[in-house]
């Protein structure tokens, strides 16, 4: 057995198990649902910064009144992101239990789990919120929930509420004695509501009492505890230069063994990255200093040129130096999807997956790119990411959009692509020699 086979035998089962884990799957799928809303917010924030609130533009034509469009859009998308995630986690997790036969579907509706998740999320929030008045003074108010907890900053709270509430709810829903049985003539929607009534009430009571006691004896809210125990350490790992490289290398290593690394790791990476880009977008809209380097657009713009493993460079290298007809034929088929960051055709068609020669550069090139980009951004040569473009946006154009037209960052992406091609070329030549010896 080769070294590749030995590593695969150890790695693949573990990664596959993680990829199918019900809580991680529920979280990952909940984030995917929110992507269109995040992109919509990004578009309006860009328009606000470049047009509506741009002094030079407003000298020609006054668009300043349209700035409220960006605020409205932000409040309706990023501002409620955590609420949407909590709801979808509840639905996704409950659906998993229903699909796997863990609960009687006739007496259960996943929508109840989604609504309960949102309820618990707000139950965990502080009763009083400190707000800043227009006069500049601060005041403690009740009946108002901070957008810090309903936006991307509250994603960890949303995940905790969604998973905790649904797990308890599902278990209580299995207890026959807790169901209020209705006649068969009653519509299913009404019957499922009555079946869920007692379990939902019990879940709220079981969660509300400990929250009250924790606040009474420690003075801390659940969001305070989550920030200290989970959010701050995880954010420090995911958004640091070293943490970013380690996570990216793991992701690409999973890729070359046939597993979608970024999808598997998304439950731990997406929340900090969303918070990071939202902070950047808000700072950009307010014409303030951009705070964060690492986020999803940064990884996509520099570490996914053509998809996982920066395979667009591999395809170009094949066109330049490969003498194998089958490689060029596959490259012709894969170049179109790769221009839109879809790597599967080349990953499984060439293949790169389980290929001892191509696995090496595919696993390390994205980390090299991100290391260089991080250092140059850190010292101020490259602009930071301030918008989210669709992941299928072609390389270079994605950088230009995500940095709001930063020329150094855009040019640097082109240079990275050239460097990646040069790195791939020796491996393409080596693959030709191996194939010739086999012939």
In the chain, what percentage of residues exceed pLDDT 90? Answer: 40
Predicted local confidence at residue 169, as pLDDT: 93
| Residues 94 and 232 grouped into a single domain | yes
Tell me the pLDDT tens digit for each residue of 291-310.
999 999 999 999 999 988 99
CA distance 259 to 186: 47
| Residues 185 and 261 grouped into a single domain | no
Task: Pick 146 or 137 by higher pLDDT.
Answer: 146
Tell me the pLDDT tens digit for each residue of 220-273.
999 989 888 888 888 888 999 999 999 999 888 888 887 777 777 888 888 899
| Residues 140 and 272 grouped into a single domain | no
Residue range 366-388: average pLDDT? 95
- Of 204, 237, 270, the residue that ends a domain is 237
Predicted local confidence at residue 42, as pLDDT: 80
| Residues 228 and 251 grouped into a single domain | no
Residue range 331-350: average pLDDT? 88
Question: By mean pLDDT, which of 127-131, 159-163, 424-428 is the weakest?
Answer: 127-131
Within 10 A of 148 (CB to CB), how many other CB atoms are there?
13
Is the residue at 270 inside a domain?
A: yes
- Please give the model's pTM, rounded to 2 decimal places: 0.79
Within 10 A of 55 (CB to CB), how many other CB atoms are there?
8
Residue range 267-288: average pLDDT? 88
Judge whether residue 179 has pLDDT over 80.
Answer: no
- Domain, as residue range, for 174: 77-237
Tell me the pLDDT tens digit for each residue of 57-84.
777 888 888 888 888 888 898 889 999 9
CA distance 24 to 415: 36
Predicted local confidence at residue 271, as pLDDT: 87
- Of 237, 259, 281, the residue that ends a domain is 237
Predicted local confidence at residue 71, as pLDDT: 85
Please, is 252 exposed, middle or buried when counting C-beta atoms within 10 Å of its C-beta (0-12, 13-18, 19+)? buried
Predicted local confidence at residue 439, as pLDDT: 47
For residue 286, CA distances in Å to 48, 54, 190, 199, 404 come to 9, 11, 48, 46, 14
CA distance 402 to 301: 8
CA distance 90 to 111: 8
Q: What is the DSSP letter of 343?
A: -
Question: By mean pLDDT, which of 35-49, 114-128, 147-161, 234-248 is the weakest?
Answer: 35-49
Is the residue at 358 inside a domain?
A: yes
- Of 182, 202, 237, the residue that ends a domain is 237
Question: By mean pLDDT, which of 112-126, 148-162, 201-215 is the weakest?
Answer: 148-162
Tell me the pLDDT tens digit for each residue of 79-103.
899 999 999 999 999 999 988 877 7
Predicted local confidence at residue 400, as pLDDT: 94
Is the residue at 327 inside a domain?
A: yes
Judge whether residue 1 has pLDDT over 70.
Answer: no
Tell me the pLDDT tens digit for each residue of 15-34.
667 667 888 889 888 988 88
Three-state DSSP state, 130 = strand
Predicted local confidence at residue 185, as pLDDT: 62
Within 10 A of 379 (CB to CB), how many other CB atoms are there?
8
The span from the first CA to the last CA of the chain, in angstroms, equals 22
* Cβ partners under 8 Å of residue 67, min gap 6: 48, 52, 53
Q: If you search the block for the tokens 């997956």, which residue do you land on?
A: 353
| Residues 175 and 189 grouped into a single domain | yes
Tokens representing residue 164 in the block:
């905790």
Judge whether residue 403 has pLDDT over 70.
Answer: yes
For residue 356, CA distances in Å to 9, 107, 352 come to 15, 52, 8
Is the residue at 343 inside a domain?
A: yes
């Amino acid at each position: 057995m080769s070294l590749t086979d030995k590593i695969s035998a150890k790695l693949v089962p573990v990664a596959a198990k993680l990829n199918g884990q019900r809580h991680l799957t529920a979280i990952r799928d909940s984030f995917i649902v929110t992507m269109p809303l995040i992109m919509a917010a990004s578009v309006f924030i860009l328009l606000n910064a470049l047009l509506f609130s741009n002094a030079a533009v407003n000298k020609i034509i006054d668009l300043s009144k349209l700035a409220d469009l960006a605020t409205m859009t932000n409040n309706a998308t990023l501002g409620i992101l955590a609420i949407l995630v909590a709801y979808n986690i509840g639905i996704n997790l409950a659906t998993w239990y229903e699909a796997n036969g863990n609960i009687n579907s006739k007496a259960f509706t996943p929508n109840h789990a989604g609504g309960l998740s949102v309820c618990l999320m707000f139950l965990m929030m502080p009763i009083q919120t400190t707000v800043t008045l227009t006069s500049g003074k601060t005041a403690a108010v009740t009946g108002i929930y901070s957008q810090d907890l309903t936006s991307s900053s509250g994603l960890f709270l949303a995940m905790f509420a969604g998973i905790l509430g649904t797990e308890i709810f599902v278990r209580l829903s299995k207890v026959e004695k807790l169901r209020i049985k209705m006649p068969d003539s009653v519509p299913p929607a009404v019957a499922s509501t009555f079946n869920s009534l007692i379990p939902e009430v019990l879940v709220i009571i079981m969660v509300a009492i400990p929250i009250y006691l924790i606040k009474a004896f420690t003075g801390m809210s659940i969001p305070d505890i989550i920030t200290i125990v989970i959010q701050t350490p995880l954010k420090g790992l995911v958004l640091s230069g070293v943490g970013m490289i380690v996570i990216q290398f793991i992701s690409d290593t999973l890729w070359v063994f046939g597993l979608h690394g970024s999808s598997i790791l998304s439950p731990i990476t997406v929340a900090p990255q969303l918070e990071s880009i939202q902070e950047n977008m808000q700072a950009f809209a307010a014409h303030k200093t951009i705070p964060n380097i690492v986020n999803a657009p940064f990884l996509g713009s520099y570490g996914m040129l053509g998809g996982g493993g920066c395979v667009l460079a591999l395809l170009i290298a094949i066109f330049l130096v490969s003498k194998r007809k089958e490689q060029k034929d596959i490259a012709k088929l894969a170049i179109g999807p790769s221009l839109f960051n879809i790597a599967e055709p080349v990953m499984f068609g060439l293949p790169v997956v389980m290929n001892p020669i191509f696995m090496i550069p595919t696993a390390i090139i994205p980390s090299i790119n991100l290391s260089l980009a991080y250092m140059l951004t850190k010292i101020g040569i490259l602009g930071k990411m301030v918008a989210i473009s669709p992941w299928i946006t072609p390389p270079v154009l994605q950088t230009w959009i995500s940095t709001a037209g930063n020329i150094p960052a855009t040019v640097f992406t082109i240079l990275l692509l050239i460097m990646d091609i040069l790195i791939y070329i020796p491996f393409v030549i080596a693959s030709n020699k191996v194939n010739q010896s086999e012939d």
